[in-house]
Structure 1
Amino acid sequence: MDVEKFFCNPVPFSDGKRHTNPDPFVMRWCGTYYCYATDSDGVKVSISEDLVHWEYKGYAIKEPDKRDYWAPSVFYWNGVFYMYYSNLDREEEDGHKQWLKLAESKNPEGPFVWEKTFFNKFSIDSHPILWNEKLYMFYSVNDWIGTDEKVAGTIILLDEMLSPEQFAGNPKPVLLPTLEQEIFAKDRFGDGRDWYTLEGAATVVHGNHCFLTYSANAYVNVDYFVGTAVAENKENLLDMVWNKYPSNDIWMPLLHKNELVEGTGHNTIVKAPNMVDDWIVYHGRMAKEDLIPEKEQREMRMDPLMFNGLQMICNGPTQEAQKVPQMAAVCKNDLKVNQQVWLAQMGKFYRCEYWISAAQNHIGCRYDIYLAWSDAQNYVKLQIHSGRSTCEMIECVNAVEQVLLSEKLEQNYDYTVPHCICVDRKKDKYTVILDEKYRFCDYAHRYDSQGKDRLGIETYFSDLTLHSFAVTETFDLTGKDLVYLDENYRLEQNVNVDDEGMAPKRHVLNMKSKLTKSDYVEEIQLEAVDHHGCVCIEIGEKNMTFMENEVGRYAIYRIADGDFSHLWVNGKEIKDFSDSGNTGMNLQLKNTRILQYCYTKNYTNC
């Protein structure tokens, strides 16, 4: 076994020691992962380049008169890191005086300095999220249903943030207790009421839905678990309706104890270095070690996620060897750029991420990011102009340039600090996300790519630092974007494509794979529209029919890995196709709609 391709939980640290990291919050900044964690003396911070191997860096914040720092989260915006956390005065005996606070720093490792206390009531477990150019905050409180007669406890609220330093003040509940397994303690305060706890919210978007994970029960118990809820995406996050999976009355946890790990909970969900795959990072205790209440025993763990319709799937908590998260095709770090520089060559489908800052200059800064470059007269580029506060997408064909779109940068945009620019290319469609907040896209219809195009940067009298660059061959199709499915499949019948997905016109669709090379992942989200729906899968000489006489959403995952193939249908691995890695997957769909298709090429090393 190649040890560099595998790892075991809990995640290893560079000093070879065991480290406790309760309530891990993981963010990626300038190509590096930062983990912030609970501790009695301060907020711990650790860093990793690959999400697997970690280095402990000490405390991001530590104050001599405070103790019991809980559940930190960090949000980066325009050069400032905002940490949301709670703690107690060192002499305080009432543990319910954990109040949500804000600390700030210009460095992700700290030191963070306290700025304000948001509430003078029990308030914990923040989780900031950018949604359609607005910032929102999930957090947990006791007083929303704390005085209810029948069901009382800690629940999760959601509020809009007017700025990283100010709540709008109009929270709404996200989830309410409904399951016996969510009970923190029976008759906790001696008044006959059982106390429930829902805390530790985290989110991930997949397709047209947002998935929410939450932790429930009591973090000190062996039965602490991670549950899930899902909501259909809407313009305003506050308008979304969250439903536990599979229902409010059925307990189906994403993570809970097994014979090796217990007390699993309080997670974040983060992308692998390839910027595609979702991994859940959580804490857990060794089940075979004695539980010592006064000793911290929660260690950081992580496992990959899959999505099966409206269900999240995780095979954790694991402790056996498993493959490390996938790397990007090309990674570059810490480059000084003051001229034209080429970074990679890619085809018509890719996802890339740039982290860029510029040196302070009285003339400002201007630079181009080439999204596709054939030659000096044919290209598609993004141009950042600090003086005009613009971000423009420009297409040039046969030496004729035209501006496809122009967006204004935020008023206080500071070009001297790192900014994240993400690009998704799907043939002629380019989607740009600036600082995970501003999203815009357009079509370069005139530009006709021939083979692979160059990706790079060109400066104009400006000195840049490219803190990190990563690119992966991938595409994720939903709604009308499913017209690009013909890149990987030959469709043998006519189909309709609309905002709901792709459906055959005459009930049956045969899809012949164009894929021949190994080392890739396909994900197909499907919906059987009536009881006559089913899917027939053919790989090499093997074929099987699934989901006969069933209605609803489900997924197919195909992992072609060298000479071997792994196939999952409706959340279950199908062992019969394990030796067909170099053969494409043909499909026949009957009365079934395609909701989403994702293809990603796998890379071992960056």
Structure 2
Amino acid sequence: MPGTFTKPATFTNPVYPHTMADPFVLKHEGFYYAYGTAPGGADGRAFPVLRSADLVQWEPLGFALVPPGGTDFWAPEVAYRDGTFYLYYSAQGIEGRDHQLRVATSTDPAGPFLDAGVVLVPDQPFSIDAHPFQDDDGTWYLFYCVDFLELEDDHRVGTGIVVDRMIDMQTLEGRPRMVARPHEDWHLFLKERAMYGDVYEWHTVEGASVLRHDGLYYCFYSGGAWERENYGVSWVVADHPLGPYRRPADGGRALLMSTLPGALIGPGHNSLVQSPGGNETWIVYHAWGPDRTGRRMCIDRLRWEDGRPVTDGPLASAQAAPD
């Protein structure tokens, strides 16, 4: 059990040796639970679940979701409210549809999670990367990704992030606002991508993770091609969860983290969590190793300098463990 481990003084990324893409970490009753995109289990369930007391030493607990059908499952995130855990994810192939956001519930953070039979964004042909966020006043919001095919201002065609208020944990208000669309060269996913009956120079902004700091709302996102070196993490900021969101003035590159050549490639799709002592914020993300055999879970400290989020990551050398 994680509680019997000796707290490590240092660690080296990655913190888990197996595939754990799109890692989301939930802190609940003194333990951390990590959920990720990876091949399913022998029992047919999707999404590996890990547990830790210190963010460094992780114990596998099996797999979370009892699939309601479908063939492909991406980017799980879990919220807790009034005794119930809600797992938000996307699935492909249910009723012949492309990826659609769904929700499953459990009374245990390790699952099993049973699908609620709800498509969260039924009017979109494609929706992924749900991120539930609760504001200080108790209101819940869901950040998620959809595709944009129209050119507007300096935005590029491709996948972007929107946010909607949640009426309850399984129902959206239905008034999504734009958070971030691809707008930079480094957001390129694929040139000449055939989509929706046409061919586009496709760009991508995805994997929202929101943190409130000094009264502002920072939406961290990953941009670029998830399997390539240009994938990295940046942010936009707003005065309210519904926006409008502003870009950093020097946003022409991945401002928070980008590829560490030969070590940690394409870092991204992060979540954010407090350290065991509660006095540090850590960014949890995936990255490829040089062998390119899988995206593995890594962690680095997040700090603030002159009102801006910064990290030394991605770090592949030994560093002090979370405090």
Structure 1-normalised TM-score? 0.48
Matched, 1:185 2:190: yes
Question: Secondary structure of the equivalent of 1:253?
Answer: coil
1:194 aligns with 2:201: yes
Could you say which residue in structure 2 is the equivalent of 1:277? 280
Is the 2:182–2:223 contact (alpha carbons within 8 Å) kept by the matching residues of 1? no
Find the residue that maps to 1:24 and give its secondary structure.
Answer: strand
Aligned residue number for residue 307 of structure 1: 304
Which amino acid is the alignment partner of residue 117 of structure 1? V
Give the deviation of 1:316 after TM superposition: 0.8
Summarize the alignment of residues 40-439 of structure 1 with structure 2, pairs less than 5 Å apart: 40-41=39-40, 42-63=46-67, 65-89=69-93, 97-115=98-116, 116-120=118-122, 121-131=125-135, 132-142=137-147, 145-148=148-151, 151-189=156-194, 191=198, 193-232=200-239, 234=240, 237-238=241-242, 240-248=243-251, 250-259=252-261, 260-287=263-290, 289=291, 291=292, 297-326=294-323
Q: Which residue of 1 aligns with 2:3?
A: none
CA distance in 2, matches of 1:89, 1:62: 15
Q: Distance in 2 between matches of 1:164 and 1:271?
A: 23
Cα distance change on mapping 1:100 and 1:90 into 2, 3 Å: closer
Contact 1:39 1:68 (C-alpha < 8 Å) held by counterparts? no
Corresponding position of 1:430: none
- Structure-2 separation of matches of 1:229 and 1:271: 21
Question: Matched residues, percent identical?
Answer: 34
CA deviations 1:249-293 (Å, max 9, x no partner) are x22421111121102110001000111210000000112x1x4xx
CA distance 1:3–1:113, change in 2 (3 Å): closer
Question: Structure 2 counterpart of 1:269, which letter?
Answer: L
| Counterpart-to-counterpart distance in 2, 1:282 and 1:198 | 15
Could you tell me how far apart the structure 1 residues matched to 2:143 and 2:98 are? Answer: 19
Partners of 1:88 and 1:22 lie apart in 2 by 17
Please state how far the C-alpha of 1:64 moved relative to its aligned partner: 7.7
CA distance in 2, matches of 1:170, 1:141: 14
Label 1:155 to 1:90 Cα distance change in 2 as closer, same or farther (>3 A): closer
Correspondence for 1:6: 10
Structure 1 distance, partners of 2:10, 2:161, is 36
How far apart are the structure 2 equivalents of 1:276 and 1:262?
29
Over 3 Å counting, the alpha-carbon distance change for 1:320 and 1:88 in structure 2 is same
User: Aligned partner of 1:86: which letter?
Assistant: S
Deviation at 1:148, TM superposition (A): 3.7
SS where residue 299 of structure 1 aligns? strand
Displacement after TM superposition at 1:247 (Å): 4.0
Secondary structure in 2 matching 1:263: strand
C-alpha separation in 2, matches of 1:64 and 1:179 = 37
Native 8 Å contact 2:73 2:89 kept in 1 = yes
Cα separation, 2, equivalents of 1:3 and 1:173: 42
Runs (5+) with no aligned partner, structure 1:
13-17, 327-606
Post-superposition offset of 1:178: 1.5
1:12-41 Cα deviation digits (max 9, x unpaired): 4xxxxx211100010101111000111242
Q: CA RMSD in A?
A: 2.1
Please tell me whether Structure 1 or Structure 2 has the larger radius of gyration of its CA atoms: 1
- d(CA) in 2 for partners of 1:65 and 1:172? 30
Question: Secondary structure of 1:187's partner?
Answer: strand
